[in-house]
Amino acid sequence: MTTTRPVPRSGPLVVAALVAVGAAIGVGELVAALVSPAASPFLAVGQAAIRLTPEWLKETAIAWFGTFDKVALLVGMVVVIGGLTALAGLASRRDERPGLVLVVGMGLLSLAAVVTAPTFAPLDLVPSGVAVVVGAGVWRWLRPVALAPSAAGGVLSRRRFLTTAGGTALGAVAAGTVGRVLGAGGASPAGVDLPAPATVAVPPAVGADFVADGTPPWLTPVADFYRIDTALSVPRIAVGDWSLRVHGMVDREVTLDFDRLRGMRLIEAPVTLTCVSNEVGGSLISNGIWLGVPVADVLALAGVRPGAQQIASTSADGWTCTTPLGPLTDGRAAMLAIGLDGQALPIEHGFPVRMVVPGLYGYVSACKWITDVEVTTYDGVISYWEQRGWGRFGPIKTQSRIDVPRDGATVPAGRAVAAGVAWAQHTGVVAVELSVDGGPWRTAQLAAEPTVDAWRMWRLPLDLAPGPHRLQVRATDRSGEVQTAVEALSIPDGATGWHTVSVTAV
């Protein structure tokens, strides 16, 4: 008499594989929180993907997902890992090796991601190492339970599998959650004391916007401030753990802790930040009032040697930018900022210390979570984005935007108002003009200009005949330069062209 072996059910195998991989990720998260917060195996892989993403793909991702590009990456990772894991589970009916290969393969991938991170330290290997061992162990233990013959005592074995797998899954989720919570601890802007600045460069911003006509408020609410960075999980640095090392072409190396920095001469100034990736008409621009220590004062402590040309700033997570010494030492409000709009910096905007330089795009100046400044030459350090094809220098280009009416809007014929913003940080905007259907340029009314380091709002009543119309805007800066009509992509050093919207008057 022959007995046929029961065909193993695929469901439990897939579940077993998913639980094993989930346990690896969850425990990896927990171990990372305990020994090396930046070395979470899951996030390290995502972070490596960000580093390796070719420029065209990054631009496509930003075009598709905007500032949700990181969420999209994480969701994509979950889908890919889940899919591969399910396949490996299915392939493991007769043999545990496909599942093992998957777990070990993912472990090697995360080790590679961790080792190639700019902030790599040997301890960072531990979370991925533990994750592989846990993942492989859970797989080797759960797979036989998943395959337990369903003939005799089938209900029992199914129940045993469900409780075992379910319990392990719960444990994995708990480990991962505890890991995330622990990893988030320590750093908090709440309760950080900000001394009063010696220089309050903040004239009352009265009449600086036309919110009633549809411009953004002159001062961007902190919660609405655009956010751009390469950090999949933001560095969380407790004030007591922070220090800044100033070295390179200096007379004496200096290391400042937070209290020392906070005790130096503080200035407060509005500065409008802009991202080089901002497209014509885009929203990657925001205005804040920053509190900080002039970069020049910190450089003076160290003493810049002759021949130095720029500084290279590095963040806690290993991102770098380079900034020419000129704009850092010519008296403008270039600062190591510790405050934004009267509060300590929000974590995602660089807590506890970041750099802010009026007139330069963020990628060449606005280093968040800054921990290291090297005084060097232009060729001494090539920054993160310069390595990826972006320009070495990133002065902000004179630009303007139509906020109202929106593209595609229907407006009342005869009595609409157009309004928006223009910017030429540290130079200032002296005129904004609007052209309807390619006709003559009409001069817009400008709002007050509390500082040349911030954007400037404009408005212009329109008298449109019924029908479709095309509105175009251009700004003129204080150097006399009229915003160019030439359309350029944001790479390598900032988009140009006139923002154009199409509307229908009825």
Ligand X SMILES: Nc1nc2c(c(=O)[nH]1)N[C@H]1C(S)=C(S)[C@@H](COP(=O)(O)O)O[C@H]1N2
Nearer to ligand X, 51 or 93 (CB): 51
What single letter denotes the amino acid at residue 192? Answer: V
Site for ligand X in 299-328 (CB under 6 A): 315, 319
Q: Cβ neighbours of residue 104 under 8 Å, at least 6 residues apart?
A: 132, 136
| Residue 226 binding: pick among Mo ion, ligand X, none (C-beta 5-8 Å cut-off by kind) | ligand X
Binding map of ligand X across residues 249-288, x = CB under 6 A, - = no contact: ------------------------x-x-------------
β-bridge pairing 335-340 and 285-294: antiparallel
- Of 101-109, 358-366, 396-404, 495-503, which segment contacts ligand X by CB under 6 A? 358-366
Whole-number minimum distance, CB 284 to ligand X, in Å?
7
C-beta nearest to ligand X: residue: 362
Q: Please choose which of Mo ion, ligand X, none residue 347 contacts, taking the beta carbon within 5 to 8 angstroms, the exact cut-off set by kind.
A: none
CA distance 483 to 398: 6
* 260 touches, from Mo ion, ligand X, none (C-beta below 5 to 8 Å by class): none
Q: Does 349 bind ligand X (CB under 6 A)?
A: yes
Query: Smaller CB distance to ligand X: residue 87 or 228?
Result: 228
Nearer to Mo ion, 93 or 388 (CB): 388
Contact of residue 315 among Mo ion, ligand X, none (CB under 5-8 Å per partner type) = ligand X
Nearer to Mo ion, 215 or 278 (CB): 278
Number of neighbours of residue 413 by Cβ within 10 angstroms: 16
d(CA 267, CA 258): 16
User: What does 433 interact with, of Mo ion, ligand X, none (CB < 5 to 8 A by kind)?
Assistant: none
Note whether 236 binds ligand X by CB under 6 A: no
Site size with ligand X, rule: CB under 6 A:
18
CA dist., res. 360 & res. 463, Å (int): 37
Q: Which stretch binds ligand X (CB under 6 A): 26-34, 364-372, 391-399, 422-430?
A: 364-372
**Residue 493, Cβ density class (10 Å: 0-12 exposed, 13-18 middle, ≥19 buried):** buried
Minimum distance of Mo ion from residue 385's CB (angstroms): 8
Give the list of residues 6+ apart from residue 14 with CB closer than 8 angstroms, or none.
85, 86, 89, 90
In terms of Cα–Cα distance, which of 16, 277, 299, 14 is closest to 160?
A: 16
Pairing of strands 199-200, 267-274: parallel
For Mo ion, give the closer residue by CB, 37 or 318.
318
CB 394 to ligand X: min, Å = 9
**Considering only 204-212, 219-227, 239-247, 388-396, which stretch makes contact with ligand X by CB under 6 A?**
219-227
The DSSP call for residue 492 is T
CB of 140 to ligand X, least distance (A): 40
372 binds ligand X (CB under 6 A): no
State yes or no: residue 88 binds ligand X (CB under 6 A): no
Counting beta carbons within 10 angstroms of the beta carbon of residue 382, is it exposed (0 to 12), middle (13 to 18) or buried (19 or more)?
A: middle
State both tokens at 94.
């007769």
CB of 67 to ligand X, least distance (A): 9
Residues in the chain: 506
Write down the residue that tokens 């190396």 correspond to.
253
Name the residue nearer to ligand X (CB basis): 283 or 504.
283
Residue 107 burial by Cβ neighbours in a 10 Å radius (0-12, 13-18, 19+): buried
Least distance CB 161 / ligand X (angstroms): 45
Q: Using alpha carbons only, how large is the chain's radius of gyration in Å? A: 28
Separation between Cα atoms, residue 261 and residue 244, nearest integer Å: 9
Cβ distance to ligand X smaller for residue 139 or 226: 226
**Which position among 161, 290, 369, 390 is part of the footprint of ligand X (CB under 6 A)?**
369
Q: Candidates 112-120, 172-180, 359-367, 488-496 — which segment interacts with ligand X by CB under 6 A?
A: 359-367
* Stretch touching ligand X by CB under 6 A, among 138-146, 211-219, 227-235, 300-308: 227-235
Place of tokens 């444990």: 171
Report the distance separating Cα 362 and Cα 365, nearest Å. Answer: 5
Question: For residue 6, with 0-12 CB atoms within 10 Å meaning exposed, 13-18 middle and 19 or more buried, which class applies?
Answer: exposed
**500, β-bridge pairs:** 472
**Is position 222 an interface residue for ligand X (rule: CB under 6 A)?**
no
- For Mo ion, the binding residues (CB under 5 A) are 228, 275, 362-363
Helix (H) or strand (E) holding 69: helix 69-90
Residue ranges in contact with ligand X by CB under 6 A: 225-231, 273, 275, 315, 319, 349, 362-363, 366-369
